[in-house]
Amino acid sequence: MKKILCAVLTIFASASLVSCGNRLKNTEFKPSLDKNTACDIKIVGSYDNFESLEAEFDRFNAYYPKVRLSYTKPDDYFNKLGDILDGNDKPNIFFSSSSMLEDEKYNSAVAHMEDLSDPELGFGLNNIREGLIKKDEQGKTYMVPVLSRTYGALINNNLYKEAKVQIPNTWNELLDSCQTLIEKGYESPMMGYSIGSMNCLMNTIAYPMCVVELANNPEALAKANALDSDAGEFMRGGLTIVDRLIKEGAINLDKCDDIQDNYNAVILRFFEGDVPMMICRSDGASGTSKREERSEAFTKHPFKYSYIPIPLTNNGGYFIDSPAIEFSVNKDCDNLEMTNEFMRFLLTTLELNIMACNKRLVSPTKEITFDPFYAPFANIPEERTFSPEMIGISEKLTTQISNAAFKVGRGELSIDQAIEGFGTL
């Protein structure tokens, strides 16, 4: 039965990779512990469900059939994480982020984090893109990305074809295509979540431009991270793009405001079939495959769709490469040895790519082989690829950018007022 299980899991993995268009070297995991070890490994995080991770549990059980793995989402996860790690029912692995290292609120959680860069653990982090890994001043790594995100827009390929409009690759093409679509009766060629600052369409547009501006100006970055009131000028380019797209009618906020959340509602609205371009992070776009059958409109009238970088300049768009989910190991947990064994398994190139494929997010590995869904990002050259982690953009700074973009987009502030108010937004 165990041999049959291994064979089935191998076939499943191969099928998953073929469906994603991946061509991977078989970086097979080599177990190092007693295969008859029986123990529990508990993972906690902020996802409501994590089916792609649970599929990895099954694959790990092909090596260690008596290890019981589970994933749960505690209530109020981020506010209660310290208490969870200090409690009696300690998790082995937990969702984390590099911003925790900067926030005193998470000192207790950070104190539980194992140094994943310790060579004796053998995690082999050299297979993960360097820009995604946060290190402290001593070069230690306390969290590792298992999924990556980027910024872009869902495209209804059929609609563009039927309207005889080219999918835009440059800023001028974007403006021209939106104007043509407006003339053809589309009241909002670009749509997205617009009624809250968290992951709103305004930030999805402005943030990449702000990242690029700061990447090329270390002095401005230092002032911006310090929330220096004089540092807001770096936002002008991104805010100007948001303002122009709304004022020229490419984005009609009255139409966008009917979308009540930045995930499920965004996807189901896109599947109605009358939205040329739906602006969202890849976190949102990742839920499309599971919701195709939940949309009555899409089920009756399916269409081809893709995900592209928004062409913010006449050279095209950017690949903003950020961690979507990071894992830390609780060094004070029970069964630490097997916990690290599971992490060694999960962090192989093969398993990370399988999980990214199943979750429909970008893999964090260097041997990145894009799902066809993200194929447009594979063509972005290195000089147009930026990692906020590598650049050093803080969480507080990211919040300022998001709030500024939202308030300018909603007309609550002018561009100049947002820049002058930087640090207090």
* Per-residue model confidence (pLDDT) at position 185: 93
Scored b (16 or more CB within 10 A) or e, 48-74 reads eebebbebbbebbbbbbeebebebeeb
Please enumerate in sequence order all residues whose Cβ is within 8 A of that of 131, keeping only pairs 6 or more positions apart, or say none: 321, 387, 389, 390
* Per-residue model confidence (pLDDT) at position 109: 92
H or E segment to which residue 308 belongs:
strand 305-308
Q: In whole angstroms, what is the distance from residue 179 CA to residue 225 CA?
A: 38
* CB of 276 closer than 8 Å to CB of 160: yes
Q: In whole angstroms, what is the distance from residue 283 CA to residue 288 CA?
A: 10
Instruction: Give first-to-last CA distance, the chain, whole Å.
Output: 60
Which of left, alpha, beta for 141 (phi over 0: left; psi -120 to 50: alpha)? beta
CA nearest to 145, candidates 164, 132, 154, 161: 132
CA nearest to 39, candidates 341, 342, 338, 346: 338
Beta strands at 319-320 and 385-386: parallel, antiparallel or unpaired? parallel
Which of left, alpha, beta for 249 (phi over 0: left; psi -120 to 50: alpha)? left
| Long-range contacts, stretch 224-230, CB < 8 angstroms, 24+ apart | 224/393, 224/397, 224/400, 224/422, 225/392, 225/393, 225/394, 225/396, 225/397, 227/396, 227/397, 227/400, 227/422, 227/423, 228/422, 228/423, 229/420, 229/422, 229/423, 229/424
Q: In whole angstroms, what is the distance from residue 254 CA to residue 258 CA?
A: 7
Sign for the pseudo-dihedral over CA of 139, 320, 340, 334: positive
* Per-residue model confidence (pLDDT) at position 21: 46
The rounded average pLDDT for each run of 10 residues, N- to C-terminus, in the chain (425 residues) is 36 46 57 94 92 94 96 92 89 92 88 92 85 85 92 95 94 95 94 89 94 91 92 94 95 94 92 94 88 92 93 92 93 95 93 88 76 80 88 90 95 96 91
Beta strands at 190-192 and 319-320: parallel, antiparallel or unpaired? unpaired
Please enumerate in sequence order all residues whose Cβ is within 8 A of that of 303, keeping only pairs 6 or more positions apart, or say none: 156, 157, 158, 159, 273
* Per-residue model confidence (pLDDT) at position 368: 62
* Per-residue model confidence (pLDDT) at position 27: 57
Q: In whole angstroms, what is the distance from residue 291 CA to residue 268 CA?
A: 7
DSSP class of 166 = P
* Tokens matching residue 211: 């990242």
H or E segment to which residue 385 belongs:
strand 385-386
pTM of the complete model = 0.83
Q: In whole angstroms, what is the distance from residue 331 CA to residue 43 CA?
A: 13
Number of separate helices (H) and strands (E) present in the chain: 20, 11
* Per-residue model confidence (pLDDT) at position 5: 34
